[in-house]
Structure 1
Amino acid sequence: MTGPRVKQDGRHYQKGPMYVAWESPEFITQPYPVVLVHGGTLQGTEWLDTPDGRPGWAQRFVGAGFVVFRVDRPGHGRSPYHPDIMGPTGPAFSYERAREVYFPDGGGETQWPFALDDEAAFDAFIAAYGPMPVDLAASQTLDADRLAQLLDKIGKAIIVTHSASGPSGWLIADRRPDLVAAIVAVEPMGPVFGHTPGIGTLEWGLTAAPITFDPPHDTPDQVRQADPYSLKIPGLQGVPVALLTGETSKFASFASSIIPFLQNAGALVNHLDLPALGIHGNGHGLIYERNSDEPFEIVVQWLDTAMGTTDPM
């Protein structure tokens, strides 16, 4: 997806394009395509082969009969970034931060796909990470704008997010409510109004970028001061949402504030809490951990139910 032309010092540049990869099964059996939106400082490769060599969720969705679109969010992976055009970058992603997020001390993680003392494997894992724009709201706005362009081309789709791309799911529903069939938010960024060190703050509740409420709110302070039960988001009205969380991740604790916020907004929310479903030991990287096929099957079963109640037209 192309970005707009911007002018600096008498020359024109493109701002924030978004790389999109596409794959289809030989026989398409599902009514809607899936759009996979990677998390944090990563790139679309996180949906591909797992660190221990198994097919990732991108391949699994294709095998289940879905057309799959896999994006590199603007400024990540194969979507070019230049600070003169998109603004300064935030901090680099450190090895220490990775350990805090994916297998914190005492966290009980048992599904990580390689030994915790395998430094070569850890090097390969960290190699995929890059910085995010320092302005989280601007970054989320770019994500939502490009994803809206994508849906305008491909039609109604299922949006699957992970971690820091969770807000992109809420924002694309705000921009293209008629083109979002369902949202699967895997360990989404939170809590409501939360601050993530080195990344930013969700000033508008679920997002750092502005989102549309009814009745309208013009500033983040108005949203914070409003009666939580009054915070309706028209773009999320009636949208099936699955919130998928693992057992050992700090991100799982965010569900306790995100779910009621989404419910008040008008979304049809199901919490797919893996330990409650008998799947144990997963952390924040559950989409590529050793048992990643188990939560994938949970998601596909949920989609079968959610799409079964929705007119594919």
Structure 2
Amino acid sequence: MLAISIIVFTQCTTKDNSIIIHEQGSFTVGGSVITNPGTFNPYNPTPEGQSLHGDHAYVFYQIPTDARKYPLVMWHGFGQFSKTWETTPDGREGYQNIFLRKRFPVYLIDQPRRGDAGRSTVSASINPIPDEQQWFGTFRIGIWPDYFEGVQFARDKQTLEQYFRSMTPDIGAIDVNVNAEAVSELFDKIGQGILITHSHSGGMGWLTAIKNQNISAIVSYEPGSGFLFPEGEVPAPMSSAGGTLEAFDIPMQDFMKLTQIPIVIYYGDFIPEELNSNPGQDGWRVRMEMARLWRDCVNKYGGDVTVVHLPELGVKGNTHFPFSDLNNVEIADLMSEWLRDKGLDN
């Protein structure tokens, strides 16, 4: 009977592998309104006297049966949208379904001015510039047109097609404060939860945690910018073949808020230990180095930050997207173990 109870408690799938969803829906959070002065005439519509609601985040959520206490809020990286966490480019289940099966409520974000949150209050110009081969390298799949040996990425044409088509433009300039405020309002709405970030949203995740104490923990996959240090303790800029990486300072009272929650950072494979002439790889060398300096600084003040370089665990071949690579179930299990160790899988 005990074994049967455990199985029922830890799964929300049926014998045919269906996921049982208790509730799902979508909504927007954050944003602002701009207006055009004047008087609106319904018989002669002009911009005068009308409004525009924009700069909000779009959120799609699913709550499984027997849901765990803390929802997972998943925030995409640069040039991406909520598709990041859905079906993988090669057609397997992504983090959305993997963690629904683990009974976590899952909230997927499209940040302001991106994807389904494309209603912007600022002007934008979108130029169709061919650049996908550059991203192939920056995301560490290989050096175009060759794949890295042992890379955890399917090499068929259709997978690459889906991968490239998962990118989307910004409808207006990226504003880290607008984005952080919108995600903070999401945590105001849902209460305590765990923030999962990727790449560019990593730095915005730190900002959001400073704004909102409902963030109980952060899991950050390959943060690439926005590292926050106390005033007077910012490391020198780091040079690489991929450009220069700079950190930022914040007041100590804000920095100390980052010491109050557990944080884990994961980096994948193909990151060189020393200066490398390939920009797509070398840029991540300094980002991982900065993440380790940031870990040391947060922990010096009583924090709980862990930086995991997956190859050091014997997990090899991962790209910039470990959560959608061929071994994403293994990567998800590592995250599950961390959540359990921190008492966050109730």
| TM alignment of 1:284-295, pairs within 5 A | 284-295=320-331
Larger radius of gyration: 2
Q: What is the rounded CA distance, in whole Å, between the counterparts of 1:202 and 1:16 in structure 2?
A: 27
Matched, 1:302 2:338: yes
1:180 pairs, out of 207, 215, 227, with 215
2:292 pairs, out of 248, 259, 263, with 259
| TM alignment of 1:1-313, pairs within 5 A | 1-8=29-36, 10=48, 11-28=50-67, 30-82=68-120, 85-88=121-124, 94-102=131-139, 103-105=141-143, 108=148, 110-115=150-155, 118-132=156-170, 135-136=173-174, 138=175, 140-176=176-212, 178-190=213-225, 205=247, 212-214=250-252, 233-249=255-271, 250=281, 251=284, 253-265=286-298, 266=301, 267-307=303-343
Contact 2:203–2:226 (CA<8 Å) still a contact in 1?
no
How does the TM-score come out when normalised to structure 1? 0.79
Give the secondary-structure state (helix, strand or coil) at the position aligned to 1:22. Answer: strand
Give the secondary-structure state (helix, strand or coil) at the position aligned to 1:260. Answer: helix
Q: What is the rounded CA distance, in whole Å, between the counterparts of 2:304 and 2:53 in structure 1?
A: 38
Contact 2:30–2:183 (CA<8 Å) still a contact in 1?
no
* Deviation, structure 1 residue 120: 3.9
Q: What is the rounded CA distance, in whole Å, between the counterparts of 1:27 and 1:98 in structure 2?
A: 40
Give the secondary-structure state (helix, strand or coil) at the position aligned to 1:114. Answer: coil
Give the secondary-structure state (helix, strand or coil) at the position aligned to 1:307. Answer: coil
Structure 1 regions of 5+ residues with no counterpart? 216-231
Contact 2:87–2:93 (CA<8 Å) still a contact in 1?
yes
| Percent of residue pairs bearing the same amino acid type | 24
* Deviation, structure 1 residue 263: 3.6
| Deviations, residues 77-121 of structure 1 (Å, cap 9, x unaligned) | 111244xx2343576572122211232328835334321xx4443
- Most deviating of 155-164 and 185-194: 185-194
Contact 1:191–1:257 (CA<8 Å) still a contact in 2?
no
Q: What is the rounded CA distance, in whole Å, between the counterparts of 1:279 and 1:81 in structure 2?
A: 40
Q: What is the rounded CA distance, in whole Å, between the counterparts of 1:260 and 1:13 in structure 2?
A: 43
- Letter of the structure 1 residue corresponding to residue 62 of structure 2: E
**Cα RMSD after superposing both structures:** 3.0
1:120/1:66 Cα in 2 relative to 1: closer, same or farther (>3 Å)?
Answer: closer
Q: Paired residues, what number?
A: 280
Give the secondary-structure state (helix, strand or coil) at the position aligned to 1:16. Answer: strand
Q: What is the rounded CA distance, in whole Å, between the counterparts of 1:306 and 1:260 in structure 2?
A: 22
How does the TM-score come out when normalised to structure 2? 0.72
* Deviation, structure 1 residue 12: 1.6
* Deviation, structure 1 residue 132: 3.0
- Letter of the structure 2 residue corresponding to residue 162 of structure 1: H
Give the secondary-structure state (helix, strand or coil) at the position aligned to 2:64. Answer: coil
Structure with a larger share of its residues in strand: 2
Give the secondary-structure state (helix, strand or coil) at the position aligned to 1:110. Answer: coil
Q: What is the rounded CA distance, in whole Å, between the counterparts of 1:191 and 1:14 in structure 2?
A: 28
1:25/1:114 Cα in 2 relative to 1: closer, same or farther (>3 Å)?
Answer: same
Contact 2:203–2:223 (CA<8 Å) still a contact in 1?
yes
Q: What is the rounded CA distance, in whole Å, between the counterparts of 2:178 and 2:123 in structure 1?
A: 12
Structure 2 regions of 5+ residues with no counterpart? 1-28, 37-46, 228-236, 272-280
Q: What is the rounded CA distance, in whole Å, between the counterparts of 1:81 and 1:296 in structure 2?
A: 33
Q: What is the rounded CA distance, in whole Å, between the counterparts of 1:18 and 1:184 in structure 2?
A: 20
| Deviations, residues 120-154 of structure 1 (Å, cap 9, x unaligned) | 43232222212236744x2x112101111100010
Contact 2:222–2:320 (CA<8 Å) still a contact in 1?
yes
Q: What is the rounded CA distance, in whole Å, between the counterparts of 1:104 and 1:25 in structure 2?
A: 37
Contact 1:247–1:283 (CA<8 Å) still a contact in 2?
yes
| Deviations, residues 60-79 of structure 1 (Å, cap 9, x unaligned) | 11111211111111111111
- Letter of the structure 1 residue corresponding to residue 269 of structure 2: E
* Deviation, structure 1 residue 197: 11
1:201/1:3 Cα in 2 relative to 1: closer, same or farther (>3 Å)?
Answer: farther
* Deviation, structure 1 residue 202: 7.0
1:96/1:191 Cα in 2 relative to 1: closer, same or farther (>3 Å)?
Answer: farther
Contact 2:114–2:171 (CA<8 Å) still a contact in 1?
no
1:23/1:191 Cα in 2 relative to 1: closer, same or farther (>3 Å)?
Answer: closer
